[in-house]
Every structure is written in C-alpha cells, then in structure tokens.
Amino acid sequence: MNSSIIGKIDKARRYAEEKDRVAITSLRSTFKGDHNQYDVSLDAGNWNCQCHFFSTRGVCSHIMALQKILEEMLTTQPEAVQAT
C-alpha cells in the first residue's frame, strides 16, 4: 500500500475518534421505523420528518433518536420544528 494512503487512513481514524471536529448543519436520512420508512432531514437547524406524529406535534421518536445518535456532532441541539 502506498505510504501516503497509510497516513490518510491513520489521520481518518484519529479524526473519527475526535468527534468534536465535526459539526453537522444539515442532513437527509431514511429512518426505518417499526411501521414504515420515513425521510428525516435537518436543514438550517430545523428538523422535519414525514411521519404522522411529527406532522401533528412537531416532534417524533425518529428525530429524537437521530439527535441522540448525533448529539456530539450537531452544532446545537435544535428543537424539532415543523417546516413551513
């Protein structure tokens, strides 16, 4: 293996351990819930989910789970807010 790629692999491993280097500001994801699959997104600090619960309450278990998974890398812990 090329020595320059070995250095990049080592650097990537170190970066992956230092999660404070990353700030997630937007994302698009597919969440497989118990009953269906939903598109969940974060854009400019606003969460959105296609599930019915989110459409009526502005928060849902899919978003809360993603916030928990990504909590160290989110720029701030944005509140789940229904997109207008």
pLDDT at 82: 52
pLDDT at 37: 96
Give residues with Cβ within 8 angstroms of 33, minimum separation 6.
51, 61, 62
Name the residue type at position 57.
R
The total of other beta-carbon atoms located within 10 Å of residue 30's CB is 9
Q: In Å, what is the CA distance from 25 to each residue of 36, 61, 80?
A: 26, 20, 14
pLDDT truncated to tens, each residue of the chain (84 aa)?
A: 677 899 999 999 999 998 888 888 889 999 998 989 999 999 988 999 999 999 999 999 999 999 999 887 786 544 555 544
pLDDT at 78: 46
pLDDT at 81: 52
Q: Where are the domains of the chain?
A: 23-84
Helix (H) or strand (E) holding 39: strand 37-43
pLDDT at 80: 52
